[in-house]
Chain A
């Protein structure tokens, strides 16, 4: 089914965009490294391939006159999602370029910002590239070399978006969202309850005093023991 294929491609692009955004967040911080720059490069190249594939598929479908009205509306909705995704991707690519210029890695005088991040982003990159483990094979000055490629790719994406706007005539205001406000809450099983719980606990008591917590635990333990002993005494006597 064409619709399923389009949806799958779009989901893939969405996933890669989210991972890319996540990685661009870490540029300039302490978990920035040559590996990160390589991951960024690979991720955005994958994103571009997916974007081209999406565009070809969707334009083919939208040009097709034999598609029914509901299907056409659905494809237009997918088109709007696709163009927004591409927009976000382009902005992130531009920011990556700017941040890449601002924070070169091998210059001893330029320091990275101590943001508190200590882990790497290899997991995110692996998710984006749909592989188990990332392999790193680039040279040690990829952070500088890559910027030129990045500029070219930004121009390419810009041109693609311009072409899309000119050739495909889908007015955005005719598309209605399928999801109501709060729809994301209904299927949150995949997000995982444990991590949410921990994060919200951390946020609520973000800097609680350990000694106070320990004292509370000890007190309640003593209380429980005292109650148990009292009950035993009452029962035995």
Chain B
């Protein structure tokens, strides 16, 4: 059984464009309003239900009242998606507006995102073709055959058995039907496993797989609106306000720039919150310039400062100027990677090999593997030690807690509560009285919290 078999599969939907095409195909079958069928004459057999490209184009023009160019384009789309296949040049899925014959594809073989073509079926098809053509497969089919033999090796015996049986079952049918079935299968696999280089009709762009975009709610019934109302209600109850509690007062409101001064990138004494933040994770420490400087100090004591310098140099390479790449790569190599370098970094041999290979053709990301290795090394090794070190503990002890500024109070008896203001939409149902009582008090005093 394949993993994620029928029970594990999430319900798939048919792509909307395919559903529309199916409707169109069904309307073409109408005995009165549909396309007129002709007979296809092969050497001995006569097969019914063939139509010319011209017929298709004419019918589309008549049915939808469109121009010939548009009709040709539409017909081309239908042929590309495998709902109609050409009889004369079967490998070329193109609609020609002339006497070339076409035929409808059987519903089982209609292109479907609901029933995608499986590897197993493809393998069975290739095995059947192999038997029929005595080993004379097309190049890419041979490659696929070998690939599948490796990939689904455990069921290969089944593939061979099933291929033989399907051919035997087909022999029970009339000659004409057998030919039709072969053509149908060939067209199906041309659409679902196009030869290399041919555009695949089933390729969906990166955003298309999202079920929310493909599910089109056409009938807006009660359930739909109920869901929408529920969703909007929940969204209103969420507070959209981000609280930015500044103990020193928000500079934008109080015109007091203490907050910025205290949290500047390089300041002799950092705030306690900032120092505590370095303990959250390694990237917090590294991204803060003050933290990075402290880490460097610590590493110097441990004699592994070259790790951090190497990491910084790699960052410079990644985000630096294109023109300087060769220069930077060279300097990194000389300083950190060359055997006998002054600040040699300890990278494992495999990564070193790969990096040295990459240096021959330098680009922005050659040092990525090595940089990641050193980053993880610092994170797992030096970072925990840093957090336990005396240096860090001293920093924590010395960090200042900024005092709360005394704000001018116009009404000294009014208590300022620190909370984010509720969504105004929620105030409305409570009535206007609440609003009126709030407004005169709120106006002269500036809002403390944002």
Contacts and interface: CB of A to CB of B under 8 A. Distances in A.
A39 B444 CA distance: 87
Given A113-B26, A179-B157, A210 B31 contact: no
Given A14-B161, A30-B49, A103-B107, A119 B176 contact: yes
Contacts of B50: 116
A184 interface: yes
For chain B, give the interface size range. Answer: 35 or more
A102 B182 contact: no
A57 B172 CA distance: 31
Given A111-B26, A182-B135, A207 B105 contact: no
Contacts of B5: 87, 161
A66 interface: no
A18 B165 contact: yes
Interface string A152-179: 0000001001100100000011011111
Interface string B1-41: 11001110000000000000000011001110010010011
Q: Is the interface of A mostly helix, strand, loop or mixed?
A: helix
Contacts of B405: none
Contacts of B130: 182, 184-185
A46 interface: no
Contacts of B43: 201-202, 205, 208, 210, 213
Interface string B132-147: 1111000000000110
Nearest to A193: B134
A88 B157 contact: no
A105 interface: no
Interface stretch (A47-55, A75-83, A140-148, A223-231): A75-83
B372 interface: no
Given A22-B169, A28-B106, A113 B29 contact: yes
A85 B168 CA distance: 17
A175 B154 contact: yes
A25 B179 contact: no
B356 interface: no
Contact of B181 (A25, A85, A206): A25
A202 B176 CA distance: 11
Contact of B103 (A80, A115, A127): A115
A184 B164 contact: yes
Contact of B169 (A19, A110, A175): A19
A81 B161 contact: yes
Nearest to A24: B108
A191 B164 contact: yes
A111 B29 contact: yes
Contacts of B88: 206-207
Given A25-B106, A28-B107, A102-B107, A117 B182 contact: no
A111 B31 contact: yes
Contacts of B180: 115-117
A179 B123 CA distance: 14
A200 interface: yes
A58 to B, nearest CB: 14
A29 B42 contact: no
B174 interface: yes
Contact of A203 (B31, B154, B175, B182): B182
A179 B29 CA distance: 45
Contacts of B173: 119, 121, 123-124
B265 interface: no
Given A172-B154, A185-B130, A207-B40, 10 more contacts: A84-B1, A91-B6, A111-B30, A117-B181, A119-B176, A119-B177, A173-B154, A181-B146, A182-B135, A199-B179
